[in-house]
């Protein structure tokens, strides 16, 4: 039986993916059997940031990616996105480029994936 992973994407992972034209979702799905999620908190954070014209354009692309890739949107129980992701890290692998959040998740025993050198998705924590 093929192992299936649950990946939760955070705000800066989405933005990095779009800014540097990294096909991160495709790369993840080609490497592992994964279902991809994000939270309302992440979407609300992106909405708040989209007062900036550049981020507004990026957010429009992110919304299309969410729809096209059938990313599952989960209800948020808090406005603190990082805290929510930290709590969910026992059930989901968190896709983030936030070094502090990655450190907290790893200390708690969770796993993360991130975009390495702004070119590819680093998944060695879960693949090896």
Give per-residue pLDDT as tens, 61-96.
999 999 999 999 999 988 899 999 999 999 999 999
CATH number of the domain that 85 lies in? 3.40.50.1010
- Residue pair 89/105 in contact by the 8 Å Cβ criterion: yes
Domain region containing 87: 4-127
Strands 4-9 and 93-95: parallel
Give Dmax (Cα) for the chain.
Answer: 46
Output the pTM of the full model: 0.93
Residue pLDDT tens, the chain, 128 long: 678 999 999 999 999 999 999 999 999 999 999 999 999 999 999 999 999 999 999 999 999 999 999 999 999 988 899 999 999 999 999 999 999 999 999 999 999 999 998 888 988 777 64
Give the chain's domain count. Answer: 1
């Amino acid at each position: 039986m093929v192992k299936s992973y649950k990946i939760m994407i955070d705000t800066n992972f989405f933005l990095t993916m779009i800014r540097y034209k990294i096909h991160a979702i495709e790369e993840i799905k080609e490497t592992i059997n994964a279902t991809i999620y994000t939270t309302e908190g992440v979407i609300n954070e992106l909405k708040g940031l989209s007062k900036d014209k550049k981020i507004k354009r990026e957010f429009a692309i992110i919304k299309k990616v969410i729809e096209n890739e059938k990313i599952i949107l989960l209800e948020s129980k808090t406005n603190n996105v990082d805290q929510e992701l930290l709590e969910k890290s026992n059930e989901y692998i968190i896709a983030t480029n936030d070094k502090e959040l990655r450190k907290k998740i790893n200390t708690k025993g969770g796993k993360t994936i991130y975009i390495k050198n702004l070119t590819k998705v680093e998944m060695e924590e879960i693949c090896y």
